[in-house]
Amino acid sequence: MARNVSTRRKLAVTAVAWTIGILIFFPILWTFLTSFKTEAQAIASPPAFLFFDWTTENYFEVQSRSNYFKHFMNSVVVSFGSTLLGLIIAIPAAWAMAFAPTKRTKDVLMWMLSTKMMPPVGVLVPMYLMFRNSGLLDTRTGLVIVLTLINLPIIIWMLYTYFKEIPGEILEAARMDGASLAKEIIYVLTPMAIPGIASTLLLNIILAWNEAFWTLNLSAAKAAPLTAFIASYSSPEGLFYAKLSAASTMAIAPILILGWFSQKQLVRGLTFGAVK
Amino acid sequence: MNLRTFLLGTCSAVALAGLAQAETLTIATVNNGDMIRMQKLTDDFTSKNPDIQLEWVTLEENVLRQRVTTDIATKGGQYDIMTIGTYEVPIWAKQGWLLPLDNLGADYDVDDLLPAIRSGLTIDGKLYAAPFYGESSMVMYRKDLFEKAGLTMPDAPTWDFIAEAARKITDKDNEIYGICLRGKAGWGENMAFLTATANAFGARWFDEKWQPQFDQPEWKNTLDFYVKLMNDAGPPGASSNGFNENLSLFQTGKCGMWIDATVAASFVTNPKESTVADKVGFALAPDTGLGKRGNWLWAWNLAIPAGSQKTEAAEKFIAWATGKDYLKLVAEKEGWANVPPGTRTSLYENPEYQKAAPFAKMTLDSINAADPKNPAVKPVPYVGVQFVAIPEFQGLGTAVGQVFSAALAGQMSVDQALASAQQLSTREMTKAGYIK
């Protein structure tokens, strides 16, 4: 039943929503603005908001000092690669747990989630040794594997929640018609779960893009993604805020644009099943 | 062409390609001005050594430290040359993680390295890392504010004079604070400054039997003095100020004095970045008449990890980057003021450098006044001026730094902070087996 919402209330809610939105977005906006300032303007107090001599010098400096494109390609390969690999493993796993649960399914789910509860630095040395021994240090393959593993619990959990919303009878009907298990997953389940899969995919790409612990620690020169690119502009002895801001803007721009275009999918997927 | 000629041709082509393929050195370094300059100038090295290519991994200092420590401790072999600090060199050399630098070439002139810096990198008579640039700490002050207040800064001030001047200059209504000092917690942040200052007050971290000394009156004097001074004459929120925050305060004209790394001198005198570039004077770090000045000693050095396959090429690069000719190269391309300071005696004897860098003499005097083997007034079992060169110090120093930072913020009293520092360092040192 639709409720009558007064205009005043609507206005208030809108104002609150905008305030929260601007508060959250402000640091990104500030980084963007700082990237067009000189180093002296970047630390000026009181700071200039819009009225300063805009300069693109920082972007040229960053371009001339590091190979942005190499880091960008590494980020793309690593985040898309790990997400796709993760989905290939997670879709059958989530299917099994949603449609063929056993009495241990809940425990398995909790156990998977529990792997996210440990601080990653706790396993840094053993991981590093394994990577060294298998020659995976500083390779994109290595980063794809490790990001798949750390994001797998989240992918499975999200997919499991979406799959649970799909009536099992539809799958049963497909089976009655003689569809094999693979066909059932590929032709019946996947198309119905597309919104869920899409939002899982997007969220996971964002998570993998921003992952800064493993990507920094397991890469050196060749496979270093954009997180290493940003880290190379941060300095405890010297103020390079404008250059750091330029580097940050360049690093987040691709994923921000991707998020912008797909926000409808993201929101729809995240609220999928919330309203009946 | 028959099959044999074809195969032979292919084989020799492959062999030639193998020969022509350059050796690639991966170099891990920090994002400091002097290192960035070095990256820009590497064409000079590669044109002289066409068979060696360089690949740079530049990271923020703390990220780099964690990254290279993991790699060297697991013998990961990701880097052929590492940029490490004076803190790491003695610890890593003792672990057998570094190769001694024996073949830096005939014209390298090891004896030209500043003795204070060189002694920190030499273990059992062998040099384990070559200094790229060195620094100490000193007082940077605003000549105009001192003049206005009718004060004259001596070349070698005492802490009493500094405190008096700081309180006199402070004009909180106009956002001018007499003194800016580090307050942000961290072994390389506030503890670097406080450990060095404590040396001047006669305090020490440990006695000869590794017993922590925070329950002694010298530490109480140090911390009391620091907290009172900062409350009276320091900027608001000083407990979250590190090097960068103070640099930005000083450059925007909000600090009367700043005691910090000598490397800051080139930033605050650079008219492009600093609004007070032509008003800065320098003095030695202050003392209290006990014979030690609160100035530290640090150098960023290039070292080769043990087990490296490319030792010869790596040594060639280190000799290039830390040699005399490199200083000339920087001077030629970017001017003498931008030459990496604090490593070679010959640089400080160069009249052109003395003319271009007004802070040269003060930097040299500060470095020479630091003695890492005898840092405190009383004897100590450790090496290091603003740190204690034991592996446990990173964790312990940061933990103590947190309580001292809390004391500065007024969250606990000086006595509480010292008691807590004493307790946690006794626990750590017992656990690590130093206290029997």
Tell me which chain A residues have a C-beta less than 8 angstroms from the C-beta of B36: 65
Q: Which amino acid is at B138?
A: M
Assess A240–B contact: CB distance below 8 Å, yes or no: yes
- Give the model's confidence band at A3: pLDDT under 50 very low, under 70 low, under 90 confident, else very high: low
**Does the beta-carbon distance from A216 to B59 stay under 8 Å?**
yes
Residue B93, pLDDT score: 94
Query: Mind listing the pLDDT tens digit for each residue in B321-341?
Result: 999 999 999 999 988 888 999
Residue B25, pLDDT score: 94
Which CA distances in Å does A2 have to A5, B124, B126, B358? 9, 84, 83, 76
B375: which 2 tokens? 């840092």
Tell me which chain B residues have a C-beta less than 8 angstroms from the C-beta of A217: 66-67, 70
Residue A42, pLDDT score: 85
Q: Which of B243, B251, B274 sits opposite A237 (nearest CB)?
A: B243
Quote the minimal CA–CA distance from B244 to chain A in Å. 6
**Does the beta-carbon distance from B62 to A237 stay under 8 Å?**
no
- 3-state helix/strand/coil string of A172-209: HHHHHCCCCHHHHHHHHHHHHCHHHHHHHHHHHHHHHH
Buried b (16+ CB within 10 A) or exposed e, B176-213: bbbbbbbbbbbbbbbbbbbbbbbbbbbbbbbeeebbbb
- List Cβ neighbours of B262 (8 Å cut-off, separation of 6 or more): B135, B136, B137, B138, B341, B342, B359, B362, B363, B366, B367
Residue B8, pLDDT score: 56
How many beta-carbon pairs under 8 angstroms link A with B?
Answer: 98
- Give the model's confidence band at B19: pLDDT under 50 very low, under 70 low, under 90 confident, else very high: very low
Interface of B with A in 35-94 (CB under 8 A): 36, 39-40, 55-63, 66-67, 70-71, 73-79
Three-state DSSP at B98 gives strand
Of A90, A77, A112, give the one whose Cα is nearest residue A190: A90
Q: Is the pLDDT of residue A139 over 90?
A: yes
SS3 content of chain A, % helix, strand, coil (to 5): 75, 0, 25
Residue B18, pLDDT score: 46
E strands present in A35-125: none
Is-cis flag, bond preceding A46, omega within 30? yes
- Give the model's confidence band at A172: pLDDT under 50 very low, under 70 low, under 90 confident, else very high: confident
C-alpha span between A142 and A106 (Å, rounded): 31
SS3 content of chain B, % helix, strand, coil (to 5): 50, 15, 35
Distance of CA A229 to the CA centre of its chain: 18
Interface of B with A in 296-335 (CB under 8 A): none
Give the CATH superfamily of A67-270. MetI-like (1.10.3720.10)
C-alpha span between B318 and B82 (Å, rounded): 10
Residue B396, pLDDT score: 95
**Does the beta-carbon distance from A221 to B56 stay under 8 Å?**
yes
Q: Is-contact A43 A239, C-beta < 8 A?
A: yes
Hey, of B25, B35, B59, B64, which one would you mutate to test binding to chain A, going by the most A CBs within 10 A of its CB? B59
Q: Is-contact A113 A157, C-beta < 8 A?
A: yes
Helix runs in B3-114, H state only: 3-20, 33-40, 42-48, 61-73, 88-95
Residue B3, pLDDT score: 57
Q: State the Cα angle at A186 between A181 and A188, rounded to 5°.
A: 85
Label the pairing between strands B126-127 and B130-142.
unpaired
C-alpha span between A267 and B111 (Å, rounded): 67
Quote the minimal CA–CA distance from A159 to chain B in Å. 35
C-alpha span between B131 and B128 (Å, rounded): 10
Tell me which chain A residues have a C-beta less than 8 angstroms from the C-beta of B244: 235-239
B102 phi and psi, to 5 degrees? -95, -25
Give the mean pLDDT of A16-28.
94
Assess B273–A contact: CB distance below 8 Å, yes or no: yes
Please tell me what DSSP assigns to residue B176. B
State percent of chain A over pLDDT 90.
52
Assess B247–A contact: CB distance below 8 Å, yes or no: yes
Rg (CA), chain A: 23
Tell me which chain A residues have a C-beta less than 8 angstroms from the C-beta of B63: 216, 231, 234
Hey, of A230, A235, A239, which one would you mutate to test binding to chain B, going by the most B CBs within 10 A of its CB? A235
Supply the pTM of this predicted model. 0.85
> Which residue of chain A comes nearest to B71, CA vs CA?
A128
Beta bridge partners of B261: B137
Through-space distance between the first and last CA atoms of chain A, rounded to whole angstroms: 13
Q: Which of B63, B263, B274 sits opposite A237 (nearest CB)?
A: B263
Interface of A with B in 153-212 (CB under 8 A): none
Assess B188–A contact: CB distance below 8 Å, yes or no: yes
> Which residue of chain B comes nearest to A133, CA vs CA?
B76
Q: Which amino acid is at B406?
A: A
ipTM of the prediction = 0.81
B290: which 2 tokens? 């006990």
Mean pLDDT estimate for chain A: 88
**Does the beta-carbon distance from A234 to B31 stay under 8 Å?**
yes
C-alpha span between A11 and B63 (Å, rounded): 46
**Does the beta-carbon distance from B244 to A232 stay under 8 Å?**
no
Interface of B with A in 15-34 (CB under 8 A): 26, 28, 30-33
Tokens 């991981």 appear where?
A127
Query: Mind listing the pLDDT tens digit for each residue in A123-137?
Result: 999 999 999 999 999
> Where is B23: in which H helix or E strand?
strand B23-30
**Does the beta-carbon distance from B252 to A231 stay under 8 Å?**
no
C-alpha span between B140 and B282 (Å, rounded): 5
Q: State the Cα angle at B357 between B238 and B57, rounded to 5°.
A: 65
B142 phi and psi, to 5 degrees? -90, 110
Three-state DSSP at A37 gives coil
Quote the minimal CA–CA distance from B105 to chain A in Å. 28
Q: Is-contact A245 A35, C-beta < 8 A?
A: yes
Please tell me what DSSP assigns to residue B259. E
A109: which 2 tokens? 């789910």
Q: Is the pLDDT of residue B199 over 50?
A: yes
Rounded (10°) angle between helices A105-114 and A68-99: 160
C-alpha span between B276 and B253 (Å, rounded): 6
Q: Which of A43, A124, A128 sits opposite B251 (nearest CB)?
A: A43
Q: How many Cβ atoms from other residues are within 10 Å of residue B118's Cβ?
A: 18
Residue A270, pLDDT score: 65
Q: Is the pLDDT of residue B20 over 70?
A: no
Mean pLDDT estimate for chain B: 91
Residue B338, pLDDT score: 86
E strands present in B268-364: 280-284, 297-303
Q: Is-contact B78 A247, C-beta < 8 A?
A: no
C-alpha span between B72 and B69 (Å, rounded): 5
Assess A61–B contact: CB distance below 8 Å, yes or no: no
Q: Is the pLDDT of residue A43 over 90?
A: no
**Does the beta-carbon distance from B244 to A40 stay under 8 Å?**
no
Q: Is the pLDDT of residue B14 over 70?
A: no
Distance of CA A2 to the CA centre of its chain: 36
Interface of B with A in 198-227 (CB under 8 A): none
Query: Mind listing the pLDDT tens digit for each residue in A82-110?
Result: 999 999 999 999 989 998 889 999 999 99
Residue B130, pLDDT score: 97
C-alpha span between A153 and A134 (Å, rounded): 24
Query: Mind listing the pLDDT tens digit for each residue in B358-400?
Result: 888 888 988 988 888 889 999 999 989 999 999 999 999 999 9
Tell me which chain A residues have a C-beta less than 8 angstroms from the C-beta of B273: 39-40, 239
Tell me which chain B residues have a C-beta less than 8 angstroms from the C-beta of A43: 248, 251-252
Three-state DSSP at B113 gives strand
Query: Mind listing the pLDDT tens digit for each residue in A199-231?
Result: 899 999 999 999 999 999 999 889 999 999 998
Q: State the Cα angle at B431 between B427 and B436, rounded to 5°.
A: 95
**Does the beta-carbon distance from B70 to A217 stay under 8 Å?**
yes
Tell me which chain B residues have a C-beta less than 8 angstroms from the C-beta of A218: none
Interface of A with B in 31-50 (CB under 8 A): 38-40, 43-45
Domain with CATH 1.10.3720.10 in chain A: 67-270
Tell me which chain A residues have a C-beta less than 8 angstroms from the C-beta of B264: 237
C-alpha span between B84 and B121 (Å, rounded): 11
Residue B7, pLDDT score: 57
**Does the beta-carbon distance from A220 to B73 stay under 8 Å?**
no
